[in-house]
Amino acid sequence: MKILFTAVAVALVAATAFAAQSIPPNLRETALATFKPLPFTPAVTNNPITPEKIALGKALFFDPRLSSSGVFSCNSCHNLATGGDDNRETSIGHGWQKGQRNAPTVFNSVFNKSQFWDGRAEDLKAQAKGPIQAGVEMANTPHRVVETFKSMPQYVEWFHSAFPEEADPITLENVANALADYEGTLVTPAPFDAFLNGDDTAIGPEEKQGLALFIEKGCSSCHSGVNLGGEGYYPFGLVEKPTADVLPENDKGRFAVTNVPEDSYVFRVPSLRNVAITAPYFHSGKVWDLREAVAIMGTTQLGQELTQIEIDRIVAYLHSLTGKRPEITYPILPTETPTTPRPRS
């Protein structure tokens, strides 16, 4: 009986608290000052989009022969059937090596102002050349990549129709161009976009209260714009340093890019689109629970102990950023020929 009473009392307190936070009448206008809904067609800078390039980029994204072992494709670590990531703390790559950082989702990455946790690549095209050559990821060389795709007549045809103005289109540069164009199609409109676009019923009262809190508490001072992040750089631990397991000492973030001491432990603010389906969290991938990640942000970035109810509402709002993922048909890839370089271990 006592247990029942306590449960009812807790429920009542929660219900009262739920009702107590009113939803600001001009919530959409306030939100539109900070966020933007997804545009209909994403822009990949300096890289005109064509259907042929997108189709080639899709094949390349799924092709494990882009890696020297023939085992890893982009999709191995950015699985489009899950959240565009690999659901691991840090990725496994060439020779079963463990990388240092958590793999971010590729969904909506076209809207990030720079790529990688430390922003070291200026756009998707510059980014794509990284993993292909990274020793712990695909461990390939530009020469071998070119040799591989030149050895398969179907790829030769696809590269020519994607880059009709070029006499010798099979280059690492064009692999990156096509991959970037394909990634530009990986956008996921979410209920929050429908809300920003004028549909009041797209998100419920708890999500709206969470959105109001997200703005009032100051989360949106860093997680803003079309991707709710992906733009600025901030120290992880602006107010209070996270624990050493969440912020390992050996990864100094942006310092490795700029060599400026103030950039130690500075990271690019990640996008929060689809964050509910891309655990684990942070560049270290050490936090598996979104509620815990939000609480950590409260203490480390805002110097605030968020209440359980506040965390619940913010998390409810973050769920409204889970978008509709594109239907993807697995591509049928060209077959190797006797001249295709053999996989390396």
Active site residues: 137
Query: Up-side HSE of residue 279: CA atoms within 13 Å toward CB?
Result: 12
- From the list 38, 44, 77, 186, which residue makes contact with ligand HEM (rule: CB under 6 A)? 77
Dihedral Cα 205, 210, 211, 217, nearest 10 deg: 150
Q: Does 314 bind ligand HEM (CB under 6 A)?
A: yes
Interface pick for ligand HEM out of 21, 112, 224, 322 (rule CB under 6 A):
112
Interface mask toward ligand HEM for 283-312; x: CB under 6 A: x---------xx--xx--xx----------
CA 64 to chain centre: 21
- Which residues touch 21 (CB under 8 Å, ≥6 apart)? 209, 212, 213, 313
- By C-alpha distance, which of 181, 182, 178, 199 is closest to 190? 199
Q: Which amino acid is at 199?
A: D
**Which range touches ligand HEM (CB under 6 A), out of 151-159, 185-193, 278-286, 329-337?**
278-286
Distance CA 294, CA 271 (A): 14
Say whether residue 148 binds ligand HEM (CB under 6 A).
Answer: no
Nearer to ligand HEM, 203 or 275 (CB): 275
Write b or e for each residue in 206-226: b if 16 or more Cβ atoms lie within 10 A of its Cβ, otherwise e.
bbbbbbbbbbebebbebbbbb
Residue nearer to ligand HEM on the CB measure, 107 or 163: 107
Measured CA to CA in angstroms, residue 63 lies from 66, 153, 174, 178 at distances of: 6, 15, 15, 13
Q: Judged by CB under 6 A, does residue 103 bind ligand HEM? A: yes
Partners of 97 in the β-ladder: 93
Kindly write out the interface string for residues 177-206 of this chain, putting x where it contacts ligand HEM by CB under 6 A and - elsewhere: --x---------------------------
Contact call for residue 28 and ligand HEM (CB under 6 A):
no
Q: Does 223 bind ligand HEM (CB under 6 A)?
A: yes
Residue 255 lies near ligand HEM (rule: CB under 6 A): no
Alpha helices in 230-331 (DSSP H): 255-258, 290-302, 308-319
- How many residues make contact with ligand HEM (CB under 6 A)? 51
Q: Which residues bind ligand HEM (CB under 6 A)?
A: 66, 72, 74, 76-78, 91, 93, 99, 101, 103-104, 106, 109, 112, 115-117, 124, 127-128, 131-132, 137-138, 179, 217-219, 221-223, 234, 236, 238, 267, 269-270, 272, 275, 278, 281-283, 293-294, 297-298, 301-302, 314
